[in-house]
Amino acid sequence: PVYPKAASYPEYAQLVNRENAQVDRRLFVDEAIYQAELQQIFARSWLFLAHESQIPSPGDFIRTSMGEDDVIVVRQRDGSVKAFLNSCPHRGNRVCMVDAGTKARGFICNYHGWSFGIDGGLRGTDGKVYEKDQAFEKAQIGLTPVAQIDSYKGLIFGTFDPAAPSLLDFFGPFTFYLDIMLDNDEGGTEFIGGAIKSEIDCNWKFPAENFVGDILHAFWTHQSGAQAILGAGVDLGKRYDELAFQASVYGHGIETNLDKVGNTRTLGYPELVDYVYDLSEKASARLGDLRARAIGAISSCTVFPNFSFLPGQNTFRVWHPRGPGKIELVVWTLVNKNAPEHIKEAYRKGVMMTFSPGGVFEMDDGENWEYSTRVNQGFVTRQQPLHYALGLESTDLERELPGHIHKGSMNDANQRLFYTRWAEFMEHDNWTDLQNGDTAPPQKSVKAAE
């Protein structure tokens, strides 16, 4: 396809009206904006690649994508992890066709037989023609590496941008919240089972903004699913008291309600509830009381731009963009390595039952996001802005927690900050500006939160 010429990116950033909390619907349907997102957001952000547990040994690999770029993530002989574009430098063919594998010694392209080591370097060709060609220099024609790779407590991320700040700086103090899931037990975490893949005809931002802070929909969208599993609807609980809050740093966001192990209950296995109560008690020495209570609380999280999870339900997922109106969704189940086998199995089945293509909650959500996307094909419809003003008057809580804190989990605050971050990526070309905008964490003491 011939894409329309991109307008200047700052112009796109103005489609988010931060004062009136309005978002222009072209963000969800326009091909030129989508192409600008691939460049400004996906080619620069740190993106989730794999869990360390998925590729434990040298030669173990996973095929995934960063934006629309197909990549291979491979464990190296020295134990480090590298990632490369999954595209042959000869005529561009995919070099690795399968989703994952173990102990690979290399990758051979199907088209003309060029072969590559697990370090991405070109090892050989067909052995007859190219080696005899003087203009051919093997060493310089390897698979294109992903510029930076790093991992945080078991999760491996990569960025195409050599100028991007460290992974820790990209998270900022949001690690305080990531640790609720990733560091609540001394043995660390792992992904179990395989990945569950599906496609949804929606723009990638609808699920990302849903997980960044839209608990509101659960009380309507998921009522019937919750009835079926729990015999009771989703409980409004203490959504407005001091136990409920939203936190946001650099567009990453979590919303939570600390009063019960609500998320875990919705998986339908009572033994998981007992497990999480025990875990929560033990974890307060590691994480402090507040975060220990959040382990199974009803809450959801998005790491900007497109990696999300639900504490307590333990579903981890990436919303891979596949055009303005489509995503490929990949879902895993995260468990503590030290958890008993029957608990791991209960999590696996629970996630399948709720957050897989056949799961009750995934289906509830997918249909809503599809229509929220599709209606914007209408010319007149897409002239009408969307409303993100719930809680616009609410201010940061006094509480000394890292990031922008808003009281009550029924609030569009995190979603406003998600789109503010989106706009920052679209308008700024350098990381100094990107890390010092409105979504940057306010200066305050983190210690007091413990």
Residues that bind ligand FES (CB under 6 A): 88, 90-91, 93, 109, 111-114
- Provide the minimum distance between the beta carbon of 222 and Fe ion in the complex, in angstroms, as a whole number: 6
112 is annotated as an active-site residue: yes
Q: Which is nearer to ligand FES, 5 or 132 (CB)?
A: 132
Q: Which is nearer to Fe ion, 148 or 263 (CB)?
A: 263
Q: How many CB atoms lie within 10 A of CB 260?
A: 19
| Distance between CA atoms of residues 210 and 212, nearest Å | 6
112 binds, among ligand FES, Fe ion, none (CB under 5 to 8 A by kind): ligand FES
51 is annotated as an active-site residue: no
Single out the catalytic residue among 24, 30, 222, 404. 222
| Distance between CA atoms of residues 218 and 256, nearest Å | 13
Q: Give the distance, in angstroms, between the CA of residue 348 and the centroid of all CA atoms in the same chain.
A: 19
> 56: closest CA among 81, 88, 83?
81
371 binds, among Fe ion, ligand FES, none (CB under 5 to 8 A by kind): none
Single out the catalytic residue among 60, 183, 214, 364. 214
259 is annotated as an active-site residue: no
Single out the catalytic residue among 24, 183, 364, 365. 365
- Provide the minimum distance between the beta carbon of 64 and ligand FES in the complex, in angstroms, as a whole number: 20
161 is annotated as an active-site residue: no
Distances (CA, A) of 19 to 159, 216, 293, 346, 428: 31, 22, 34, 45, 19
| Distance between CA atoms of residues 422 and 173, nearest Å | 19
365 is annotated as an active-site residue: yes
Contact 50, 65 (CB under 8 A): no
| Distance between CA atoms of residues 418 and 304, nearest Å | 8
| Distance between CA atoms of residues 272 and 270, nearest Å | 5
Q: Which is nearer to Fe ion, 183 or 362 (CB)?
A: 362
- Provide the minimum distance between the beta carbon of 125 and ligand FES in the complex, in angstroms, as a whole number: 7
Radius of gyration of the chain (CA): 22
Q: Which is nearer to ligand FES, 90 or 444 (CB)?
A: 90
Q: Which is nearer to Fe ion, 49 or 298 (CB)?
A: 298
Residues near Fe ion (CB under 5 A) are 365
Q: Calculate the CA dihedral of residues 431, 436, 442, 446 and round it to 10 degrees.
A: 30
- Provide the minimum distance between the beta carbon of 146 and ligand FES in the complex, in angstroms, as a whole number: 19
176 binds, among Fe ion, ligand FES, none (CB under 5 to 8 A by kind): none
Catalytic residue set = 112, 214, 217, 222, 365
